[in-house]
Structure 1
Amino acid sequence: MGDASRRSHRVSYPPNTRGLDTQPVHYLSPRFTRLSDEIWDEPELHWEERESVRKQIEVAQEFGGRVTRAVGGVPTAFLAEWGSGAPVIAVLGEYDGLASLSQKADSVVCEPDPANTSGNGAGCGHNLLGAGSLLAAVAVAQQLKSSGASGTVRYYGCPAEEAAAGKTYMVAGGAFDGVDAAVTWHPADVMSTDQWLSLAYTQAYFRFRGLAAHAGGMPHLGRSALDAAELMNIGVNFLREHMEDAERIHYAFTDAGGVSANVVQPTAELYYIVRSPTVAKMRTLYERVVAIAHGAAMMSGTTVEIEFDGACAEMLPNRTLEERLHANVCELGGVPFDEDDQAYGQRMAVTLPDGAASAVRRRLGLSADDPRALFDGIPTLVDPAHRFQLTGSTDVGDVSWIVPTVQIVGSTMAIGTPAHSWQLVAQGKSRVAHKGMIHAAKAMAATALDLLTDPELLAAAQREFHAVIAETPYDKPIPEGIIPPPLRPGYRPN
């Protein structure tokens, strides 16, 4: 699609959804689609989102938001609020990108964006996520002001969701103190109003130290840190047979010891992510990985230093809020994709890996000959016992253990588009992505306004929340005293 097709998109929606006049969301949307595109244009990695924060704060202040920076002690976190008094409803946004995912917009081949100098890309749609959530917050704020109702809406700009647990550190720093409930969303290839389950995770650096030596002349004097790292990876690979099916372990070399094969490598560093369905199970699995690291150091005659980087909890669903969100989406209808949008989706669909869409289509109940490449239907609210289990993670989980939280998954891309892929990045500035973002903003705004104006809804959501917490308290995944990585001495971006 060319630039003209990415300008403001006039879409007809019902004028009222459970008390929310959805037209303000519609007429505000051009400013926020532009904000989304600006963040797509300059993607920044976790903890480094300075320009993204500046752009978001500029828009929040443009619409009268009172801004507090570095909330919870996290440098690239902020909040903007409107209104006053109780209740206080939070809308959560994100804006971090991913490394090595630069991609030209709307291209049907994998090719870097020529204007991108960082090599990063908006590989999880967080450009849309942050802009859409801020749009929802501003729309609610304007309706609060026009109605004269009491209550406060807060937009939380949350950094470092990508394997960095920004919200977990914000929770630990008290950023969400005083919040009564939270609403958020995430871009995807489908729309869903029931909360998908996520995995708890932890991540850490494993730094091996050995002794350099001439690999040919005096290898017996050396102690290879690279050997230690490889032994650790081998040990973890054997561990994979003896962990739960839903658990995941990933790693990357951040230092392989150098480029000379004739030097016994004195240093090596691995970055590990360990995931499991609950914080308690994740902690147990992580301890097994740590034990393997110590064993690798013993076998190689090296030492290992472990730096805990971050962690997050699994999601805690709130059925009361899901049902209200679902009712709002049913009144709104599906995302209003037209024939041109579907044609765009078809062009992107042919780039997807074989079989990528088939499982999603089966889950949606779409027949094999259904021509739609974009999901424009109304999702089914599934029985809680049959929730979809993700094998990924989100730090929204930690917020959900602090306040009742609801999240809509919004349809912004072709069915079957893999997360963290060049195809996802390519679709991130399209009219399809903008429509899905605006639609999610309307659903979030309607639900946030319900929470602000319907005391019984909020009370019911909190009763459900506190009943669960009484039985299963929040298991904090970050040990006491651990500070956010960018505040640590010697911090270097990963």
Structure 2
Amino acid sequence: MQNTEEIWSIVDGKQDAYIALSDRVFEMPELNYREVKSATAHAEQLAREGFRVETGIAGLPTAVMGEAGQGGPVIAILGEYDALPELSQAPGVSEHSPLPNQPAGHGCGHNLLGAGAMLAAAAVKDFLAQHGLKGRVRYYGCPAEEGGAGKAFMVKEGAFKDVDIAISWHPAAFAAVTAPVALANTTIDFEFSGKASHAAAAPHLGRSALDAAELMNVGVNYMREHMPSDARIHYAYLDAGGIAPNVVQAKAKLRYVVRAIAVSEVHELLARVRKIADGAALMTETTLTSEVVSAMSSLLGNTPLEDAMQRNLDRLGPPPFDAEDVAFARRMQQTVTPAHIETAFRRAGLPVSDFPLCDRIAPKDVPGPTMMGSTDVGDVSWAVPTVQARGATYTIGTPGHSWQLTAHGQSPLAHKGMVHVAKAMAGVAVDVLVEPELLRQTKADFAERLAKTPYKPLLPDDAKPPFHLF
């Protein structure tokens, strides 16, 4: 308990610099693999803290790593700082107010995620030094979580090969241990090539790539009835071939995301999608090429680490929100429906309340959500024992990937939630460093799970990072 309170005190003493870092990154939102300014800001803060800094790790220009300490176990704390397209929003405003000349926005709170993770790492660094303990803490600044699978490429290149445990978090409505449930996925581009012709004078000479793309989409939509109910398939047109309807379009390009609970299910569904694409090309007498853009695995749990995270959160209690935070949250709740709010409580395993902010720690043993997304933390969890927390940084009912979430990005309540979860992460790291039995149990749990289900990455061996995803 004394160690716990000490590490929390260190976090409190450092918070101002990391709130400022979060706010800086919020003001310069950058998309996948283009997080040049954000990565630089993180590297500069690591240097100020006295970390040994490396940039461009794993061949990713916007990936950074800072290490402190000597010998002993290696604790990795993972951060992110990529933004999302089309989610520009003025902060602290409870109405949709995009910022001029800034189309991107931090609609998933990654400005907070990176800064909060580094705050935890910096506190652990000081704890190690003050107690003369053997051990190393690393902050990994990981690019392109939003579909770019930055961490999956980092795992592929061995960036975590000597790490003993990994810790991360994500902004949320409630403070909680993150359930180790996420959809594995593959993002793949399908490009059809045909023959252009005059659509009126010589339609018989044309072979429409656009027809092929549309037939593929129709085929996949019919397939939806015959796939697992918790799987997901999404698509978007990257190139519809042109804007002239009197031309038979000679090219068309689609991007598909195929998701499922198990990696094996992704492989099975992707094989079926490929057959449909081949059929569309056959029907239209076009040619087809495809390329895997990115891929992410599902999450592998670790019970000892999850229990340690729950203990830290339970000791902390909820974030210290004040009356102004509550007033802002009530305004934000006016922008969503009652269904949004009820769903948030249900997913957290808590009874519905009219209080708009997290006022308790969510229970750990809530059944996994029936609807979920994906994360490249999944691949890290198969390479090293991993735990994640949820940090209460936004109003209950706020939709993910929305202007409302972006609006929270520089709010005092978001800052409080970020500092709160940094304490929980730092607490888990210290527990592992001072309790050899916890580390032993963690590794035993990891080895047992891997023995039952070996890691089979979805990324092909020849896959390259999609530096121009958006």
The TM-score with structure 1 as length reference comes to: 0.92
CA offsets per residue over residues 170-219 of structure 1, 9 Å max, x none?
Answer: 00000001000011000011221152410100001111111111112111
For 1:230 and 1:285, locate their aligned partners in 2 and report how far apart those are by CA, in whole Å: 19
1:405 aligns with 2:386: yes
Tell me the secondary structure at the aligned position of residue 355 of structure 1: helix
Distance 1:86 1:198 in 2: 31
Return the offset for 1:272.
0.8
Aligned residue among 158, 161, 175 for 2:142? 158
Counterparts of 1:377 and 1:357, CA distance in 2? 16
Equivalent of residue 49 in structure 1, options 27, 35, 39 = 35
Report SS of the residue matched to 2:221. helix
- 1:69 CA drift (Å): 1.6
| 2:205 is the alignment partner of 1:221 | yes
Shift of 1:264: 1.1
Counterpart of 2:152? 168
Task: Give the Cα separation in 2 of the matches to 1:174 and 1:321.
Answer: 22
Partner residue of 1:7?
Answer: none
Alpha-carbon distance, 1:376 to partner = 2.1
Within-5 A mapping of 1:320-469:
320-364=304-348, 367-368=351-352, 370-382=353-365, 386-469=367-450
Secondary structure of the corresponding residue to residue 244 of structure 1:
coil
CA RMSD of aligned residues (A): 1.5
Give aligned-pair identity as a percent: 47
Partner of 2:266: 282
TM-score normalised according to structure 2 size: 0.97
**Aligned partners of 1:65 and 1:82 also within 8 Å:** yes
Aligned residue for 2:243? 259
1:219-263: CA deviation from partner (whole Å, max 9, x where unpaired) = 111111111111111111101111111100111111111111111
Give the stretch that moved more between structures: 103-112 or 418-427. 103-112
SS at 1:329 equivalent: helix
Equivalent residue number for residue 129 of structure 1: 113
State the distance in 1 between where 2:416 and 2:5 align: 22
Letter in 2 for 1:305: T
Q: CA contact under 8 A between 1:20 and 1:446: conserved in structure 2?
A: no
Q: Provide the rounded CA distance (Å) in 2 between the counterparts of 1:86 and 1:367.
A: 43
Q: Counterpart of 1:11?
A: none
**Which amino acid counterpart does residue 386 of structure 2 have in structure 1?**
T
1:324–1:20 Cα change, 3 Å? farther
Question: Residues of 2 paired with 1:180 and 1:423: CA distance?
Answer: 37
Q: Does 1:244 align with 2:228?
A: yes
Contact kept in structure 1, 2:196 and 2:206, CA below 8 Å: yes
Contact 1:309 1:485 in 2 (8 A): yes
Whether the 8 Å contact between 1:328 and 1:447 is mirrored in structure 2 is yes
Checking the alignment, whether the CA contact within 8 Å between 1:324 and 1:447 is kept in structure 2 is yes
**Matched residue SS, 1:208:** strand
- The one-letter code sitting in structure 2 at the alignment partner of 1:267 is K
User: Whole-Å Cα distance in 1 between the matches of residues 178 and 20 of structure 2?
Assistant: 29
Gaps of 5+ in 2: none
Residue 21 of structure 1 and its aligned partner are, at CA, apart by 2.9
CA distance in 2, matches of 1:305, 1:465: 39
- 1:59 maps to what in 2? 45
Contact 1:209 1:267 in 2 (8 A): yes
Distance 1:183 1:54 in 2: 22
2:151 maps to 1:186 = no
What residue is the counterpart of 2:75 in the other structure? 89
Partner SS state of residue 357, structure 1: helix
Cα distance in 2 for residues equivalent to 1:80 and 1:106? 32
Inter-partner Cα distance in structure 1 for 2:270 and 2:131: 51
In the aligned structure 1, how far is the partner of 2:70 from the partner of 2:350? 46
Paired amino acid for 1:67: V
| Counterpart in the other structure of 1:482 | 463
Q: 8 Å contact 2:193–2:252 — kept in the other structure?
A: yes
* Aligned mates of 1:107, 1:297 — CA distance in 2: 49
Aligned counterpart, 1:6: none
Q: Secondary structure at the match of 1:22?
A: helix
Structure 1 CA distance, aligned partners of 2:44 and 2:277?
46
The structure 2 residue matched to 1:470, chosen from 440, 445, 451, is 451
> How far, CA to CA, are the matches of 2:2 and 2:36 in structure 1?
37
The Cα of 1:375 is off from its aligned counterpart by: 1.1
* 1:26 pairs with one of 4, 8, 12: 12
Counterpart of 2:195 in structure 1 is 211
The 3 A distance-change label for structure 1 pair 366 and 322 is closer
- Write the distance in 1 (CA, Å) between the matches of 2:32 and 2:55: 17
Distance 1:283 1:351 in 2: 40
Q: Distance in 1 between matches of 2:338 and 2:197?
A: 48
Deviation at 1:379? 1.8
Deviation of the 1:364 alpha carbon = 4.4
Q: Choose which of 287, 297, 313 in structure 2 pairs with 1:313.
A: 297
Is 1:112 aligned with 2:102?
A: no
TM-superposed CA distance for 1:477, in Å, is 1.1
Call closer, same or farther: CA 1:64–1:480 in 2, change over 3 Å. Answer: same
Please state how far the C-alpha of 1:371 moved relative to its aligned partner: 2.8
The question of whether the paired residues in 1 share the 8 Å contact of 2:64 and 2:140 is answered with yes
Look up the SS of the partner of 1:252 in the other structure: strand
Asked whether the equivalents of residues 87 and 403 of structure 2 are also in contact (C-alpha less than 8 Å), the reply is yes
Counterpart-to-counterpart distance in 2, 1:113 and 1:67: 34
Q: Which structure 2 residues correspond to residues 61-76 of structure 1 after superposition, within 5 A?
A: 61-76=47-62
Distance 2:293 2:102 in 1: 23
Is 1:138 the counterpart of 2:157 in the alignment?
Answer: no
Q: Distance in 2 between matches of 1:225 and 1:281?
A: 29
Against the structure 1 CA distance between its residues 462 and 108, is the aligned structure 2 distance closer, same or farther, given a 3 Å change threshold? same
- Paired residue type of 1:356: H
Number of paired residues? 470
